[in-house]
A = this chain, B = another copy of it.
């Protein structure tokens, strides 16, 4: 814990109040910080934008990447008013900030009706046994796209 962590986490919490006040979405905020400056921020915008992926963390990551002109957040810290859900955790791993600081927990979110825990449980099940069933077909046909990819030269790895 340091002074900057407290300062920026409080800004994420402030956004968690501001989003609902603007009727944007649920009580969640996030900021991305690089070299002591905020380079991306958002609150939840799911219902107001009809975008189920518009969680605060995803939107703050997208905002920071757009402003920095990169799809990798090296040297950045993500501050979130609540522990990230599985979708946001995945987004964090693809964006690769140095670390994450969060305030409220999954359990706190579940207590007001945002049940991330259910998704965490579903991830561990075999695809066909999930509440949204997932079935596999045509693997051989799909591999053609992967083989083609390996033959592309000078492609951007990510």
Instruction: Give A residues with C-beta under 8 Å from B.
Output: 1, 5-6, 9-10, 13, 16-17, 20, 23, 25-29, 46-47, 50-53, 55, 58, 61-62, 65-66, 68-73, 81-105, 108-109, 111-113, 118-120, 122-124, 127, 132-139, 141-146, 148-150, 152, 155-158
Contact = CB atoms under 8 A, between A and B. Distances in A.
Contact of A105 (B47, B97, B132, B139): B139
A146 B52 contact: no
Given A29-B145, A101-B134, 10 more contacts: A10-B141, A53-B53, A90-B90, A102-B136, A103-B136, A104-B142, A104-B143, A108-B142, A108-B146, A112-B150
A136 B86 contact: no
A1 B94 contact: no
Number of copies: 2
A63 B155 CA distance: 26
